[in-house]
Structure 1
Amino acid sequence: MKLPSSLVNFGDFCKRNHQQLVAGLITFSLSLGVVVLRDKGAFKQVELWSYDTLMRSQLNEPSDRRVVIVEIAEADIQRFRWPFSDRLFAKLINQISAAKPAAIGIDKYLDIPVMEGRDELVAAVKNAGNVVNAKFLATVEGRSGVEPASDLEKISRYGYVNLPLDKGAVVRRSSIVADTGSFAFEVTQLYLQKLHNKQLVFNPETIQFTAGKQIIPRMSANYGAYRKEDDSGYQMMIRYRGKPRGIQHIRASDVIDGKISPEQFRDRAVLIGVTAESLKDSFPTPVTVDEEVMYGVEIHANIVSQLISATLDDRQFVQVWSNDLENLWIVIWVIIGGGMATFIPNAFKNVGLLTALAIGLTAGSYFAFAQAALWLPIFPSLLGLVAANVLVMAYQLAIQQSERKVLMGLFSRHVSKELVDIIWSNREKFMEEGRITGQEVYVTVLFTDMRNFSTAAEAQAPGETLNWLNNYLGTIANEVLAHGGMVDKYIGDAVMAVFGVPIPHSNETERTRDAQSAVEAALAIAHKLAEMNDVWVAQGLPPVTTGIGINSGTVIAGSLGSAERLEYSVLGDAVNIAARLESFNKEVDGGPHHILISEDTHQRLNNNFQTEFVGKYALKGKTQETGIYRVLDVQRNPSQPSPKVSSETL
């Protein structure tokens, strides 16, 4: 049954482009694999590590003077003991309140009375009128919550201080609103309302909060590198402003002792919290390294600063693309990596461009984070780019090694190393399915045959004969290769060589050079064998006479044999004529060097050689007569270089 032409054309297309199609399949499979692995959370920790690196690289902003921390340090605990009494907290609040701050946040649970002075504490909170106290929401892990104190609940605001923790207890995100507002959220609302008559606004239709002109990006279960994360509440990524102690700290004892000027607190958001190591209210964050930590009150202060800055200064929140857009971004980089390896076969160029693109991708991701707080998926993109490039390059290398093995098997014994390299660089011109496709080419064929092999062999032992014959054949082969020819085959003590293959020569200049190279090679062989005869005669061996026949014409060149045993050779009438000319040396005088050439070859010598016309003869098996010439010697100007095969002419 005849197949439809569309299927035939498609099949031909696949054969012509099978390497590109396989490279495309590798790239597609890898892109799918990277996307699926990322969706499964395989890269989460590496991506979060890269996020931390991005965050640390951007800590070049000045300290936010609108926020100040009153720290209860280790020295304060040693002086006043812990927990502070209600009276001591009352005095601390009164001192701060007298300076007229915009908001006072107390990052310490005041749910139960501590020693004396509870009435004084209630009075201080009430007189201040802008206090936000801390509470703790009950968590699914079973930890009980800390509810607001009944005597303070009606005269102050409350916000929960729970912080979502990533693996390793790292604080990268914050829940700003759940059933109620968070501690930082309530402090921010007080500050904005009192000084700027603004608020963080909730839109019930879109279920989004806005800070000034910006929508606060809400984290979902699959947000950036996060996968199947607990996204309860309204969570956002914390954009830290600086390293630990990047926000101004004032000692609590200095405030209690009245050593602080009121201007230090006026119109500022003041957060009171512990920075004593013994109280263990500290966490690793993206901006801390090694054993460094940031205290809870500092984290809340950074969140307050982030919300205020976004509302008043349009400082951007950390944001990501949608999952679909991130996946597309990753796939694009995988395609780029695979495409480079497919269409840039030069390994050095490919590696150079790959390095440049990897650096560009990394630098671009840093730039996006620095300019727009945009968190791009660096690691999956880099992995896809490099892995696709390496895998496709490995596939192509395997194919090249296979093809090179085929080519070397066909040619390494028959042509010079320089020509092998040229063949390899032009392999796509004539390689198909592991064999050389047959093609019609114009060549010059050279045949040699020893006249008195039997006589010479009789004078030697079998082992000596083999070495002697190899020496003889090697001499002929070396001269053929040196003059740009290809040793087609050895037939006993005969040699067949071809000039003009396997890279076809299409113009007349190249074809003429092939003919002249063949004649030069024949003369070189004759001279070399004459020198060797002197040595053999001295060894008691008979001299060797070698007949040479040369013809130029059109042949069919290609692979012959089974897939397991291929040979490259040429077939055609031009080959037969060269063989008959070599044999014809036995019937006519081939001159001092026993070299006979055809009329076709003679026409391409351009008077560069001394020749004599022998006559026209009908060679064995031929009906038409062939003009035959004997070659006497070279007539070339000694200063003129011998023709050589060059990649520039192929």
Structure 2
Amino acid sequence: NLLRIIIYFLINSVFITAIPTGLKFLEVLQNWDLQAFDLMMRSRSVLINEDPDPRLLLVTVGDADIAAQRRRGEYLKGTSVSDQTLNKVLEKLQQHQPRAIGLDIYRDFPAESANLQNRFQQTDNLVGVCKGSDATINTSGIEPPPEIPQSRLGFSDFVHDADGVVRRHLLFMNQEPTSPCPASYSLSLQLALRYLEAEGIKPKFTPTGDFQIGNVNFPLLKPRTGGYQGIDTNGGQILLNYRSSKRIAEQVSLTQLLSAPINPNAIKNKIILIGVTAKGDFPDYWATPYSTELDKQMSGVLVQAHMVSQILSAVLDGRPLLRSWNPFAEVMWIWVWSVAGGLLAWQMRHSWTRLLIFVVVGCGILYIFCFGLFIQGYWVPFVPSALALIATAAMTAISKE
């Protein structure tokens, strides 16, 4: 009799495990899985506050900086920083020997100032940006600054999910034949590699096709990874493990940089990112796991800073990159929680109230396990496991009635 109960119990749990696993495979649960991912990212930022990344300095161009240039009569020519101001900024930064400068501002036109033209050509640690074209969504792309050679270009493209949230980090890609952007590396990867090169650390592809920087393997996304099912993984994409800090790095506005004395140590051997935080002119804001509300979205230059920091922190500090388990391990994980739900129902006898309480507690424990693994760098399925736990508990309880 006991053997029959055990066999029935195991068959029941396997059958129920197959249902959320199938729903997951069919992308039915993807949106919920991504919401759980965001919740864990926000929960982590509440419990763990990382310090700002000391290797970065952000030079931000806000609405006040743009207005100040216009008051001085400077011609912006459809961009956020005039030739005169940009030349002064680059000159001041170079005096203090930054390791790399990322100009996260589109300039698809030649500089009118000869001084700026020369500075673009001769500043070997300056990386400019362009945007790749995408025929699938009819995006034509944006050309790079014509004075900056291809070896010093990075693309600014972000990969966002259907809900507009940036959860992935595009490291490299093959541009379309008609793309005006020739860069095959992202701005963030270009800047990080230039920083790491000074430490004697270089990237490589392993014989198995994995991407490595130093001894750190970057787990490139597959179409089915974690909660993702059937996504487009063209190029080299990884999950973006945002830094859990109130500020990603020290920041100084464009006006402050030009008008106030700057501590040389704030610039020397740092990565400097210059980008727009203005909301009125040239807005560049993105939904992130931290917030999708329009007035709380993150500026593009801050997202770039999180991406640069993710690479540097993984290689130099051992900070975990986010990865997922293989499909078999995920199915076994879901089955374990299905069994847990059945055991809970078996122990509760005929008390539905107690069963409900214990199922809620069980889902809470499951979330704590998933959250703990998330902190360690593993994104494991919470939603399918919770469904398996609840369904097996309900089925077992009903069969005992």
Normalised to the residue count of structure 1, the TM-score between the two structures is 0.55
Q: Could you tell me how far 1:255 is from its partner in structure 2?
A: 1.7
Shift of the 376–221 alpha-carbon distance from structure 1 to 2, 3 Å rule, reads same
Q: Could you tell me how far 1:396 is from its partner in structure 2?
A: 1.8
Q: Could you tell me how far 1:229 is from its partner in structure 2?
A: 0.3
Q: Distance in 1 between matches of 2:238 and 2:93?
A: 30
Which amino acid in the other structure matches residue 146 of structure 1?
Answer: I
Residue 86 of structure 1 is matched in structure 2 by: 83
Residue 251 of structure 2 is matched in structure 1 by: 249
Note if contact 2:108-2:145 (Cα within 8 Å) is conserved in structure 1. Answer: yes
> Identical aligned pairs, as a percentage?
26
1:40 alignment partner, one of 26, 29, 50 = 26
Normalised to the residue count of structure 2, the TM-score between the two structures is 0.88
Q: Distance in 2 between matches of 1:343 and 1:54?
A: 31
Residue 159 of structure 2 is matched in structure 1 by: 164
Note if contact 1:211-1:310 (Cα within 8 Å) is conserved in structure 2. Answer: no
Which amino acid in the other structure matches residue 374 of structure 2?
Answer: F
Q: Distance in 2 between matches of 1:352 and 1:299?
A: 41
Q: Could you tell me how far 1:259 is from its partner in structure 2?
A: 3.4
Residue 285 of structure 2 is matched in structure 1 by: 282
Provide, for residues 250-299 of structure 1, a one-character-per-residue CA deviation record: whole Å limited to 9, x for no partner: 10112223532322211110000000012221001012254411011111
Shift of the 261–126 alpha-carbon distance from structure 1 to 2, 3 Å rule, reads farther
2:35 alignment partner, one of 33, 39, 49 = 49
Residue 106 of structure 1 is matched in structure 2 by: 103
Shift of the 24–345 alpha-carbon distance from structure 1 to 2, 3 Å rule, reads farther
Note if contact 2:129-2:153 (Cα within 8 Å) is conserved in structure 1. Answer: yes
User: What is the number of residues matched between the two proteins?
Assistant: 377
SS of the equivalent of 1:58 reads helix
Shift of the 287–379 alpha-carbon distance from structure 1 to 2, 3 Å rule, reads same
Verify: 1:31 aligned to 2:26, yes or no. Answer: no
Q: Distance in 2 between matches of 1:217 and 1:19?
A: 43
Alignment of 1:133-532 (within 5 A): 133-139=128-134, 140-153=136-149, 157-179=152-174, 180-194=184-198, 196-199=199-202, 201-242=203-244, 245-278=247-280, 279-288=282-291, 290-291=293-294, 292-342=296-346, 344-345=348-349, 347=351, 350-351=355-356, 353-370=358-375, 372-397=376-401
Residue 602 of structure 1 is matched in structure 2 by: none
Any stretches of 5+ residues in structure 1 without a counterpart?
A: 1-12, 398-650
Q: Could you tell me how far 1:20 is from its partner in structure 2?
A: 6.1
Which amino acid in the other structure matches residue 118 of structure 2?
Answer: A
Q: Distance in 2 between matches of 1:20 and 1:30?
A: 15
SS of the equivalent of 1:286 reads coil
Which amino acid in the other structure matches residue 306 of structure 2?
Answer: N
Which amino acid in the other structure matches residue 238 of structure 2?
Answer: M
Deviates more, 1:212-221 or 1:337-346: 337-346
Q: Could you tell me how far 1:42 is from its partner in structure 2?
A: 1.1
Which amino acid in the other structure matches residue 207 of structure 1?
Answer: G
Q: Distance in 2 between matches of 1:284 and 1:387?
A: 34
Provide, for residues 290-331 of structure 1, a one-character-per-residue CA deviation record: whole Å limited to 9, x for no partner: 441101111111110110111111111011101221111112
- Choose 1 or 2 for highest CA Rg: 1
Q: Distance in 1 between matches of 2:246 and 2:156?
A: 18
Residue 93 of structure 2 is matched in structure 1 by: 96
Structure scoring higher RCO (CA < 8 A, sep ≥ 6) equals 2
Note if contact 1:137-1:144 (Cα within 8 Å) is conserved in structure 2. Answer: yes
Residue 72 of structure 1 is matched in structure 2 by: 61
Alignment of 1:531-550 (within 5 A): none
Provide, for residues 121-180 of structure 1, a one-character-per-residue CA deviation record: whole Å limited to 9, x for no partner: 2222344320110011111311112233442216x6001010001122110111101131
Superposition RMSD in Å: 2.2
Q: Distance in 2 between matches of 1:349 and 1:21?
A: 25
